[in-house]
Amino acid sequence: MKTIKVGLIGTGYIGMVHLEMLRRLGGVEVAAVADTNADLAKVAAEKFGISRVYESADELIADPVIDVVHNCAPNNVHFDINAKAIRAGKEVLSEKPLALDSRESAELLALAEKHKTLTAINFCYRYYPVVQEAAARAQRGDLGDVRAFVGHFLQDWLFFETDYSWRLDPKVAGKANVVADLGSHWCDLVQFITGQKIVEVMAELHTCLPKRRKPKAGSLSFGAGEAGESEEVDIKLDDYASLFLKLENGARGNFTTCQAAAGRKVDIELQVFGSKESYAWSHVHPNALWIGHREKANEIFYESSLQQAEGTRKYAALPTGHPMGYHDAVFNLFRDYYEAVAAKRAGKPYRATFPDFRTGHEMMCVIDAAVESNKSGRWVKVGK
C-alpha cells in the first residue's frame, strides 16, 4: 500500500498535537507543513523531519503530493481552507469548530458530499476508551431511555486580564468563544453517548473579564501576556456560558462552561441519567466510568481491552491498569480515520464511525442556536 501523504496547516499548539499523533500511524507520512508564521512552521518541520515548508495554505493544498489535509488554523480560515482542500481532491481532517457559522458549515458539508471527500473533525474526547464504552452500552440498551443529563467544562487559562487569545476576537473566532471552543466538545459527548440529537437550546453567554491586556506583538492560542508591551482592549465574546438543552426524545439537561475558573485546567464532567442506569465520566479521572444503579451497588468500570464491549476494546490499547490519556484519544480518532482513508484508496468497503463534517455542522447549529438564544432570551430550535 502506498504511503498516505499528509499536509498540515497551522503549527500552533493543536497542530503540534496532530503531528505527534500522526507519526504514530503506520503507512502515514507528514510530507508538508504550512503556517503564516514562518518561524513556527520551520520549528515544526525541524522537529518532525518534514521536508516541505510553506507560508500559505494555498501552496500546501496545491502540492500534488498531498493526499490528506489537516486543518489546524484559526477559526476564521477554516471554511476557506476546508473548501479549497475539498475542491483540490484532498481528504480533510479539520479542527473544530468547523466554520464561523452554520451557513458556512452547511456549505462545507454539501461540498464534501458532492466531491465524495472523506472528512473528519477532531472531537477527540469521545475517543477515551470508557467514553466509547458508555456509548456502546447505551446503544445496546443498558442505559434505557435517556431522562436527563448535566455537566460542565471548566478551564482557567483566561483567568487573568493579561491572558489573551485570538479566540476572544470576533473577527478570528466568530460569534462565540467558550461555547464554541469548549461547548462544542461537551455537546458532541452528549450526542455521542446518548445517540440523541440536541434539538433546542436556552443559553446565557457572559463575559467575566470585559477588558483585557492584548500583547501588541500578537498572541498564540494559549499565550499569557505578561511579557512585552500590551494594550487594553474591550472583550465582546463569552468566557462563560450556561445552557439548558433538550434532546430529540424530550430529555433535558444543563451545561456550564468557563475559561476563568481558577484551578480548573481541563475539567470536563458529564452525567447521563437513563431509565435503567446512569453514567458519569470525568476528564479528571478519564479512565473510569461510573455506573449508577437504584436497586444494587454502584460500579466503577476502568478501561480494559479484556472487559470492554467488543467494538470498543481496540481503544484501550494498553494492558488493563495502564491508563491512557489525551494524546491517545486523539490517536484513536486518527487511527479510525486513516483506516478508512486506506480502505477508500484501496477500493475496499469501510465504516466511517468517526466524527465527520456532518458532526461538525451539527455542532455549528447548536452554537448558532446558543448565540441566538442569548440575544433573544428565549428557547431556540437547533437548525439542520
181-216 pLDDT tens trace: 999 999 999 999 999 999 999 999 999 999 999 998
Domains along the chain with CATH numbers: 4-124 (3.40.50.720), 126-328+363-381 (3.30.360.10)
- Give the burial string for 159-176 (b: 16+ CB within 10 Å, else e): bbbebbbbbbbeeebbbb
* DSSP helix/strand/coil, 83: helix
Sort strands 230-234 and 211-215 into parallel, antiparallel or unpaired.
Answer: antiparallel
Q: What is the DSSP string of 97-156?
A: S-SSSHHHHHHHHHHHHHHT--EEE--GGGGSHHHHHHHHHHHTTSS-SEEEEEEEEE--
Give residue 216's pLDDT: 86
Give residue 330's pLDDT: 98
- How many CB atoms lie under 10 A from the CB of residue 43? 15
Residues 368 and 76: their CA atoms lie apart, in Å, by: 15
List helix spans (H) across 157-290.
170-173, 178-181, 183-194
* DSSP helix/strand/coil, 21: helix
Residues paired with residue 285 on neighbouring β-strands, in sequence order: 282
Place of cell 464491549: 309
257-306 pLDDT tens trace: 999 999 999 999 999 999 999 999 999 999 999 999 999 999 999 999 99
Closest alpha carbon to 10 in 156, 220, 318, 186: 220
Task: Report in angstroms the alpha-carbon separations of 300 from 219, 271, 303, 323, 324.
Answer: 42, 14, 10, 15, 17
Sort strands 28-34 and 252-258 into parallel, antiparallel or unpaired.
Answer: unpaired
* Structure letter (DSSP) for residue 319: P
Task: Report in angstroms the alpha-carbon separations of 366 from 55, 173, 381.
Answer: 34, 16, 9
Query: CA end-to-end span of the chain, whole Å?
Result: 38
Give residue 227's pLDDT: 56
Residues 335 and 354: their CA atoms lie apart, in Å, by: 10
Name the average pLDDT for the chain: 96
Strands (E) located in 249-298 = 252-258, 267-274, 278-282, 285-292
66-119 pLDDT tens trace: 999 999 999 999 999 999 999 999 999 999 999 999 999 999 999 999 999 999
Q: pTM to 2 decimals?
A: 0.95
